[in-house]
Each structure stands twice: as structure tokens, then as C-alpha cells.
Amino acid sequence: MNEASKSPFTVVKSEQSTPVPMNGKPWTQPNVEAAGLTDEEADLQREEQLLQEKREQIRLKREQEATEARNALLLKRDKAKGAAQNFRQEALKATSEADKRSLYEWATEADHEAAMIEAELGIVSKAAQVAPEKQPFLLRNKGIMALLQVLGVILAIIYFHGLFEGFGLDIAADNLKLPIEKQLQPYDATSIQKLFYEKLVVFVDLPIALLILFLVSPFVGFYVLPFVKSKKDFYTEFYEDLTPWQRTCITTAVCLGLLFFLALSHNVKP
């Protein structure tokens, strides 16, 4: 009777409602005796299995807490991204320039918050995964590229002006050998003056056209001119509201219109 009160089976039942299995078998006195364990060995094995089970419970609890924390951060990230999208949609509908600017600033802040959460979670966006390609020298130094473009235009003007003068001298030399009725009439300073007269007409017509525009439809003038800021103006909408395809179409139309206007200016007669 005293031996039964000190057996491992009796201790397990007194400390736990559900006995811990011993090598896949319940902690019963026959199983302990069949395993050839002494009371001390049975107690040690039971304690080891209890510790192992406790470790597993702690591990599962930590994994659950980590999963819940990660899910909370993901939810916070999704809310920040949704807020950024909503702010941009509201900015497209806003009529006040100040409200539109504030909404875009809030959208940027929400994007930054979402990016910080993703960095905390170890999430790398697709844009960050692709290493940016090294741009050519001229694209990385736009000031130098602009200077080279201006110099290229100036050199082209000088080159073609030299050809213009050279052919004029050749024609004048050939005319000395020809009778008057067969002599050619080369372009001279009068032609150059006509060119500058055409450009003068262009720049004189521009402010006159703007004045007429303000007289006929002033709302269009306020919408187009860059130095007149209103609730709705072309330059703000061009950069903030239009898609890249729409900007390309408008830019192409404006360039073609300017070229057509300059082509018509050559028909001006002094």
C-alpha cells in the first residue's frame, strides 16, 4: 500500500489531470514496470517530457503572438495604402488648389507610412527588387546636356549661314562670266532682313493674340497663362491630373501647332 502511494503513476495523477505519455504509452504502473524503469528514472523521464511539452506550448504561444503582430502590421499597412489612394482620388475632385495640394501631401505621407511598415516586416516591393540601371552620362547631367543642345543649335546656324554666304559668293563670281540676261539672283542681306522681319511679326502677334483671347474668352486666358494662378489652371492639371499618354498627345499637338505657325510666318510680306 505504501509502495503504491509512492509510485510514479500515483504522482502523475495527483499533479496532472491528463497523464503525459511515456514513449507513446500512458503513465500506468504496468507500463512503468514493463519499461524496466526505477522510480527515480520514471520520475526523471516524466519531468523531461513535462518540460518538453512546456517548451512546445511556449513556442506555439510565441508563434501565435508573432503572427498576430504581423497581421496587425499588415492591416495597418493596407489601411495606409487605402488612405493614400483615397486622398489621390479626392485630390482629382478638389476644386481648390490648396485642398488639392494638401490631399497630395497626405497621400505622400500615407505612402511613406506604408513603406516604413513594409520595411519593418521585411517586405521588399517589386520596384526595390529591381536594381536601377545606371543612366548615361548626359542623362545624369541634364545641365550639361542642355548646354550641348544649345551649342549644337548655334553651331548648326553658323554652319548653314557659312554655306549660305559661300554659295552667294560663288553665284556672284559665276555672274561675272555670264551675260546680264542669264545672270542668277542670289540671296543677299535683303533675304536675311526678311527672315528677321518674319520673326518680328511672330513675337508681335503673340501678345496681340493673348489680348484678343482675354477679350473674347478671359476664362481660357486665365486657364492657359502660367503666371496667372487660379483654382483651375492648365499647368497644374498637366502635371498632376493627366496620364502620361494624355501629356504626350497634348505635347505633340502643341509642338506641331508651333511648327505650323512658324511655317505660316514665312509667307509674311514686308
Residue 129 has pLDDT above 60, yes or no: no
Over the stretch 102-114, which tens digit does the pLDDT of each residue have?
Answer: 888 888 888 888 8
The confidence score (pLDDT) of residue 159 equals 92
- Domain ranges in the chain? 2-127, 138-187, 189-270
- Residue 22: phi and psi, rounded to 5, are -105, 105
Instruction: Please say whether the beta carbons of 203 and 268 come within 8 A.
Output: no
Rg (CA), the chain: 43
Over the stretch 185-240, which tens digit does the pLDDT of each residue have?
Answer: 888 778 888 888 888 888 888 889 888 988 888 878 777 776 666 567 777 777 77
The confidence score (pLDDT) of residue 2 equals 44
Average of pLDDT values for 124-152?
A: 70
Taking the C-alpha atoms of residue 191 and residue 161, their distance in angstroms, rounded to an integer, is 12
The confidence score (pLDDT) of residue 256 equals 93
Determine the straight-line distance between the first and last CA of the chain, rounded to whole angstroms: 134
Ranges of H-type helices in 94-178: 97-121, 126-129, 137-140, 142-175
**What 3-state class would DSSP assign to 31?**
helix
Taking the C-alpha atoms of residue 256 and residue 250, their distance in angstroms, rounded to an integer, is 10
Residue 130 has pLDDT above 60, yes or no: no
Taking the C-alpha atoms of residue 94 and residue 55, their distance in angstroms, rounded to an integer, is 58
Question: What global pTM score does this model have?
Answer: 0.42
115 vs 256, more confident: 256
